[in-house]
Chains A and B, each alone.
Chain A
Amino acid sequence: DIQMTQSPSSLSASVGDRVTITCRASQSISIYLSWYQQKPGKAPKLLIYAASSLQSGVPSRFSGSGSGTDFTLTISSLQPEDFATYYCQQSYSTPRTFGQGTKVEIK
Chain B
Amino acid sequence: QVQLVQSGAEVKKPGASVKVSCKASGYTFTSYYMHWVRQAPGQGLEWMGIINPSGGSTRYAQKFQGRVTMIRDTSTSTVYMELSSLRSEDTAVYYCARAIAARYDAFDIWGQGTMVTVSS
Contact = CB atoms under 8 A, between A and B. Distances in A.
Interface stretch (B23-31, B76-84, B97-105): B97-105
Contacts of A49: 100, 103-104, 106, 108
A44 B107 contact: yes
A31 B104 contact: yes
Interface residues of A, number: 25
> In the complex, which range does the number of interface residues on chain B fall in?
20 to 34
A55 B107 CA distance: 11
Nearest to B63: A95
Interface of B: 35, 44-47, 50, 59, 61-62, 95, 97, 99-100, 103-108, 110-113
Interface of A: 31-34, 36, 38, 43-46, 49-50, 53, 55, 87, 89, 91, 94-101
